[in-house]
Structure 1
Amino acid sequence: MKPQLLAGAAAAALLAATGAFAQDSGWYGAIDLGAHQIRPFETVASGEEPQGLNFRTNINFAGFARLGYRISPHVRVELEGGYRRSGNFSSAHDTDQPPLGDGFDLCAVGSAPGQCDRPDGSLDAWTGMANLLIDVLPNAILDPFVGGGVGVNYIRLRADGAININGDNTADTLSIHDSNTKFAYQGIAGVAFRASERLNVDLTYRYIDGQRAGFKSVATGTFQPGTFSAHYRDQSLTLGLR
């Protein structure tokens, strides 16, 4: 799953948006923009020493492009491409300990003694999903909808920092530059506002989960945590035009 695929899906959705929207059946396109928050990315390391790293991120941008078909007034199916950006980490500390506690932390290179500045890195995701949606009140101005989807999640983890052991900075460094594609599933809920006969405004909540993904690391020194693996869990809230 690459950024070019999302761009292609967005173009297809915009082209489909010229179709009929208010009919009992037919094609439609949609674009959704908003924000998302990754749940704490609690990894487990394959090495013997560390339990893993808990990567935390801040709220950031999410965007989706959808191409759908209304089967009946109450039932829709969609193909959806999504992108969730994380930006820099807010922290990366031992899964079982608080920051700078007994355990393993990843800090920015050059952090002062007794401090653990956030490391460089990002955790981005591109998704491709097939959704089934149920419109509860398809003829109302406000139409609640629920649904779900299955597909794939391409996850890219980038992390670079210095290793901190039991609150003490070390000269050893750790780098993770890896990606993985795994099966994913999501739950969807929202409400659609009928702005006109051909345009709906969708307020959509998504929660995504999936298979555990692994990411290889490279460390200097004798401390070798190996491969970090975790479930990517995320919630998003978007506003879209359909």
Structure 2
Amino acid sequence: MVHPSAPTGGVAARLADVRGRVRAAALAAGRDPAQIRILLATKTLPPAVIRAAIAAGGTLIGENRVQEVLAKADELADVPHETHFIGHLQSNKVTMVLPHISCLQTLDSAALADRLQARLETMDRGLDVLVQVNVSGEATKSGVPPAEVADLVAAIARHPRLVLRGFMTIGLNSPDRAAVRRGYAELAGIRARAAAEGWPGAAVATELSMGMSGDYADAIAEGATIVRLGSAVFGPRTPVPAR
């Protein structure tokens, strides 16, 4: 559900500040800041706030819930932007969400790949995907275990409508920054293996979507190409109960 009272004031200034911080983190890691994109995590935010962020240059947004994608689609249709889906996607909601997204960052099973391929065939279009990997081993997180990534990539390669662009993870929920970074380094290692070993279907799998508002600098240090930022740009958001 969209939060009705998220403030619009200050979004442009906070986005500019975050851009500067991302740039500084990239330079500190010896990386080109142009290699890193900021994805604005817009869960619970109303279209007016998202429009303000897009107007300030934040044209890549990510949604966690299918119902929010659908609720906001019409009100954002007239502003150029790109929407990625970054939440767990149930197979029975594939048909609803596909018309509104350009990338699914959370592909974590061969069954979901099968469902996507079937629907994309009827739509006569393709879809960029990232494989979600559970590098932390936490039961509360979605994603394929690292040991099973190669098999899932092989399954995706059998579906011509799916284009594997890289890998995604949600970092370990821990104040131990070194432990969090180890997870991000593991995801970077998976990308490196895919390239070095020539995994089928992974020729353009260069993206690493990892890092959020609290740990994006560490993710950048480990090679993130997409950082998913919400509160860093929009400020704290009052939780809205799911219905």
TM-score, with structure 2 as normaliser: 0.23
Structure with greater Cα Rg: 1
Which has the larger strand fraction? 1
Which has the larger helix fraction? 2
